[in-house]
Amino acid sequence: MGDLASSKIPSEDRPAQRSEVPKRAQKAPKADDVISTVTEDSFISFRKKFHFPNDLVMKVPARTDRACFPPPGYVTSARGLRFPPSSELIDILTLCGVCLSQFSYRAMSIVMGLIVLFRDRGVVLFSECLSRMGRLFSDAHGRISFRSKWLDIRTRDPSKGWVSNFFYVQNDWGLQEKWGKLKELPVPLHIGVEDLLRILKLPDLDALHYEVRYLSRYVDEEYLFKVGLSTQIIIEDHIQEARSHIYDVEVKALEAECAEDGFIMGFMKGVQTVHRKTRAEIEGLTPSQASSDASSDSGGEELESELQRAFALEEDEDDVEIL
């Protein structure tokens, strides 16, 4: 099996190495200096926008709470993550000995994007494949980033509120709760570029570059649902669509029935009014029907039959010629 070091990397990807140099202006604040901006009202938006399960237990941090020190039995999460976390993400966090909130926005976007990319191709992102594609590393404050020396992995602009939009989630998955020291994933010598292409069912290195260059699309709702990481909103949409269809069918049928009954009722009232004013006898109309309104207990079918009997045309009646 091929090794990455023995594979020729196209020169077009070399600029990506220069762009990976960290900028001093983008210095991340210390985790123990940031106060959470999340409130109880935020949870309403999070449940709707990010489709949190109804049984997910969340807790708003106090002003004295910090992301690196969640309460016992809870993990620190950030706005935008999905629950429950995928099995691939849980394995990566466990092997690295870190928790969710240590990941920078870009690092989490890349990891989740790769998880979805692999799932979309019908395979699982193992830690060996992740470490072959790039490296997770930690800064002095314990925050984790992702760097690749040969892949130009692009994501959306980092969320400005990612660091301060933290909150606590009940730890039902055995995740590490407090911040830990990163254990770097070993680079596997038995997996090379050719193996990645085979695993992902891609024809060549250019195709792989294309997929990771536009990795952001794999964290869109369409792909998250496609690979089973987001289901609630789609199910709710289908339920609402079915309800709307049933409602439309029933309402239209009811409208038609009411229109028919309304015509019959209106016609009967008109006949009764004429009878009261003229006292003329109407053939086929009983005295009770002619003297008062139809009983409220009478259905449309009974009224219709009465009208048919009252105003039935004789089959042998001569045609009337209109001049």
The full set of domain ranges for the chain reads 4-228, 234-310
Confidence of residue 131 (pLDDT cuts 50, 70, 90): very high
Across the range 277-299, mean pLDDT stands at 58
The reported pLDDT for the residue numbered 215 is 86
Secondary structure E strands in the chain: 58-59, 74-78, 135-138, 144-147, 166-170
Across the range 226-230, mean pLDDT stands at 67
Higher pLDDT, 11 or 123: 123
The reported pLDDT for the residue numbered 159 is 56
pLDDT higher than threshold 50 for residue 234: no
Of the candidates 162, 147, 174, 138, the residue with the CA atom closest to the CA atom of residue 38: 162
The reported pLDDT for the residue numbered 130 is 93
The reported pLDDT for the residue numbered 216 is 82
Q: Is 80 left (phi over 0), alpha (psi -120 to 50) or beta?
A: left
Look at 157-166, 185-194, 268-277 and tell me which has the smallest mean pLDDT. Answer: 268-277
Of the candidates 111, 75, 110, 77, the residue with the CA atom closest to the CA atom of residue 91: 111
- What's the chain's average pLDDT? 75
Higher pLDDT, 38 or 305: 38
The reported pLDDT for the residue numbered 93 is 94
Look at 74-78, 121-125, 162-166 and tell me which has the smallest mean pLDDT. Answer: 162-166
The reported pLDDT for the residue numbered 109 is 87
The reported pLDDT for the residue numbered 69 is 92
The reported pLDDT for the residue numbered 315 is 46
Q: Could you tell me what percentage of the chain is helix, strand and coil, using 3-state DSSP and rounding each to the nearest 5? A: 50, 5, 45
- Record the tokens describing residue 172, joined without a space: 């039902």
Look at 140-144, 231-235, 307-311 and tell me which has the smallest mean pLDDT. Answer: 231-235
Classified as helix, coil or strand, 67 is coil
Is pTM beyond 0.75? Reply is no
Look at 16-30, 103-117, 299-313 and tell me which has the smallest mean pLDDT. Answer: 16-30
